[in-house]
Structure 1
Amino acid sequence: MAWTGDPIWLADVLRAEGLAVIEHAGWRGRGHGDFRDLRGVMCHHTAGGGPNDWRVVQDGRPGLPGPLAQLVLERDGTYRVIAAGVAWHAGAGSHPGWPTDNANWHVIGIEGVNNGVGQVWPAAQMNAYRRGCAAILRRLGGPASDCVGHKEWSSEGKIDPNFDMVSFRAEVARLIAGSPPAPVENEIDAEALVARAWIGARLTPGELPTADGVGRFARFANGTIYWHPYVRNGEATAVPAHLMKTYAQYGFESGFLGYPTLRHTVVPGVGDIQAFEGGTLYRRYGYDGFPVRGVIGKRWAAEGYETGLLGWPISDEYDNGTGGLAQDFENGRLQWDPSGAVKEINRGSDAM
């Protein structure tokens, strides 16, 4: 291999590949000692899947001090450079050309943020994973065969990463060779294609950041498409203009509703329905829309949602004057009591 010692060039090599990089303070001096000769890259998933997985990788966990890898790959394709020194990530195992049970001193570890039990790998993250591995191996002068999954190395039954390493390595080999890259799927563009029958012309050039600085959105003639790396498994979701009017009243993604989690449902001739992180929006054609959420929402769901006896919501939750909350529906009302009970009040009757 072409390098012995700590890979202090990690951030530069990744940036040169056109990848987004965050350098953590002190990363060049962080590690459990200095590398010997570098021989490859080991791929992992974090098994958490959330925005704070990097903290465990950097700081460690009870019984295993950090760093636990040199790099963390976020779901939006951003690399966090955690350490230049040795990290405890490999465990016991073997691979041709690598020291048995001793890869930590010779192999760079990458932890991709994913829960490992069904969470989708966003296209942007997988693209960055391949390109990052290729860039490092190109710097080392090594082949794609030295891009190894933890599950392939381990003699301890490790299962990460939970994607196919054979096809992954084939793409890494193509990238090392400098072949034209496969096009990267933009999630908002992909959702626009799915919604092309109704969403209309694009109004936003490119994408705009949401208020949290993490998500993105783009406006179209008949709706808006939202994307966040930790919502809906990193896939974008379109919200029709009919519901956007109500969504705006509740603060868009910054309000309690948060980001959309499902595509909207059209009830022909009646209205639109769409689920969000903090509740579900219902809007009948020709009327205002309202969210249904919380304990009242659960009781309404048990009653059959909008197709049940209560029908569609015709108000938001409001103070019922006795310390609780109430919400009106077409054919009745639900009230929440601080004790936790929900009382169903139909026209002309009172019933629990």
Structure 2
Amino acid sequence: MATPLSADAFARALRAEGVSVVEHDGWRTHNRNHMGPWGPVNGVMLHHTAGRDSVELCQDGMSGLPGPLCIGVIAKDGTVHLVGYGRTNHAGKGSRAAYEAVRAEGPTPARPGPDALDGNTHFYGFEIENLGDGRDPYPDAQLDAVERIAAAVCRAHGWTPASVIGHKEWTTRKIDPSFSMPGMRDRIAARLQGDPGARPEPRPQRPAEPAAYEPFPGAEFFAPGRESAIVTAMGRRLVAEGCGRYEVGPGPRWTDADRRSYQRWQQKLGYGGADADGIPGPVSWDRLRVPRSG
């Protein structure tokens, strides 16, 4: 729990981490602070825009959702556009369990709990330019910028990578960002062990493999009778992990055998109780790495 950085200290922290920054007019005082508090802050929340050319939208907002919608927009080329600072309309209501995990810098829950807390109060919010359809790539420069931004804020506050979460880990209403948050936290951890401005060695896009893995389709996708090639692909991965509880299949229809198999996967990851109910959540889904089905 911390007092937010001043706008100037925040900008200095980004540049010290090697982030390429564009400061848009008035960003330091453009916020939603009149609607409620910003702070104490506990972490960083990452999103994807679900569209392109999003800087103006994130700065101005839209009908029913005034801007700014984040502090910074991370473009495909790795440039970070600062469009606001303070409370922004990025997180909305989310899980108390996820919030407590961030506060304790512990493991992210397998599934977010009920929406109960205002995340706009407690998180620095960043939007990553991407369609979020599992096919739009995240270039190396963009992922490097995500890593650097999150590391810069963590370094400034003395936080660990456990203080960085995705919107999909905050609420079951969202699926963003469409890359692996555990993989991104691994990258942030590695960066925090080195010098702030160090340039990375070439690396594969480990946390973001949109052509290879299915993005989390949302908990509501896994309803009785759902038919999809994604269900088949998931079942095959569960069998490969030694968690299959199938007498026949797996097949494309979501059944109780799928739920029991996924429950065994959650238990294998160390979850219990309500967190091991057999309904996929974003964290356990990321770790399963279900191949794209089409």
Q: What is the TM-score when the length of structure 1 is the normalising length?
A: 0.49
Q: Say whether residues 1:39 and 2:42 are aligned partners.
A: yes
- Secondary structure in structure 2 of the residue aligned to 1:88: coil
Name the residue aligned to 1:145: 162
Name the residue aligned to 1:111: 127
Which entry has the higher C-alpha Rg, 1 or 2?
1
Residues 60 and 67 in structure 2, CA contact (< 8 A), matched pair in contact too: yes
- Structure 2 CA distance for partners of 1:3 and 1:184, relative to 1, 3 Å: farther
Supply the AA of the counterpart residue of 1:170. Answer: D
Separation in 1, partners of 2:5, 2:151: 20
Supply the AA of the counterpart residue of 1:64. Answer: L
- Structure 2 CA distance for partners of 1:5 and 1:123, relative to 1, 3 Å: closer
- Secondary structure in structure 2 of the residue aligned to 1:174: helix
Supply the AA of the counterpart residue of 1:175. Answer: R
- Secondary structure in structure 2 of the residue aligned to 1:9: helix
Supply the AA of the counterpart residue of 2:27. Answer: W
Q: Say whether residues 1:68 and 2:69 are aligned partners.
A: yes
Name the residue aligned to 1:345: none
Where structure 1 has 5 or more consecutive residues not aligned to the other structure, the ranges are 187-232, 234-352
Q: Greater helix percent: which structure? A: 2
Residues 124 and 184 in structure 1, CA contact (< 8 A), matched pair in contact too: no
Q: Say whether residues 1:168 and 2:184 are aligned partners.
A: yes
Name the residue aligned to 1:82: 83
Separation in 1, partners of 2:118, 2:5: 15
What does 1:114-125 align with in structure 2 at a 5 Å threshold? 114-117=130-133, 118-125=135-142
Separation in 1, partners of 2:121, 2:26: 20
- How many residues were matched structurally? 184
1:144-195 deviations in whole A, cap 9, x for unaligned?
001000001114x200000001111011111122277641469xxxxxxxxx
Supply the AA of the counterpart residue of 1:67. Answer: P
Separation in 2, partners of 1:80, 1:53: 10
- Structure 2 CA distance for partners of 1:7 and 1:124, relative to 1, 3 Å: same
Residues 134 and 176 in structure 1, CA contact (< 8 A), matched pair in contact too: yes
Where structure 2 has 5 or more consecutive residues not aligned to the other structure, the ranges are 104-115, 205-210, 212-294
Supply the AA of the counterpart residue of 1:106. Answer: H
Separation in 1, partners of 2:123, 2:89: 10
1:273-307 deviations in whole A, cap 9, x for unaligned?
xxxxxxxxxxxxxxxxxxxxxxxxxxxxxxxxxxx
Quote how far apart the aligned CAs of 1:11 are.
1.8
Name the residue aligned to 1:285: none
Separation in 1, partners of 2:148, 2:81: 15
Name the residue aligned to 1:158: 174
Residues 5 and 37 in structure 1, CA contact (< 8 A), matched pair in contact too: no
Residues 2 and 39 in structure 2, CA contact (< 8 A), matched pair in contact too: no
Supply the AA of the counterpart residue of 2:119. Answer: A
Supply the AA of the counterpart residue of 1:153. Answer: W
Q: What is the TM-score when the length of structure 2 is the normalising length?
A: 0.58
- Secondary structure in structure 2 of the residue aligned to 1:11: helix
1:101-121 deviations in whole A, cap 9, x for unaligned?
211111001101011111110
Quote how far apart the aligned CAs of 1:7 are.
4.4
Quote how far apart the aligned CAs of 1:96 are.
3.7
Residues 19 and 79 in structure 1, CA contact (< 8 A), matched pair in contact too: yes
- Secondary structure in structure 2 of the residue aligned to 1:93: strand
Separation in 1, partners of 2:200, 2:121: 33
Residues 87 and 109 in structure 1, CA contact (< 8 A), matched pair in contact too: yes
Residues 23 and 82 in structure 2, CA contact (< 8 A), matched pair in contact too: yes
- Structure 2 CA distance for partners of 1:166 and 1:150, relative to 1, 3 Å: same
Supply the AA of the counterpart residue of 1:90. Answer: A
- Secondary structure in structure 2 of the residue aligned to 1:86: coil
Separation in 1, partners of 2:61, 2:186: 32
Q: Greater strand percent: which structure? A: 1
Supply the AA of the counterpart residue of 2:167. Answer: H
1:54-76 deviations in whole A, cap 9, x for unaligned?
11110001110000001100100
- Secondary structure in structure 1 of the residue aligned to 2:93: coil
1:208-245 deviations in whole A, cap 9, x for unaligned?
xxxxxxxxxxxxxxxxxxxxxxxxx9xxxxxxxxxxxx
Please give the root-mean-square deviation of Cα atoms over the aligned residues, in Å.
2.3
Separation in 1, partners of 2:161, 2:13: 17
What does 1:289-328 align with in structure 2 at a 5 Å threshold? none
**Once the two structures are aligned, what percentage of the paired residues are identical?**
38
Q: Which has the higher contact order (CA 8 A, sep 6+)?
A: 2
Q: Say whether residues 1:91 and 2:108 are aligned partners.
A: no
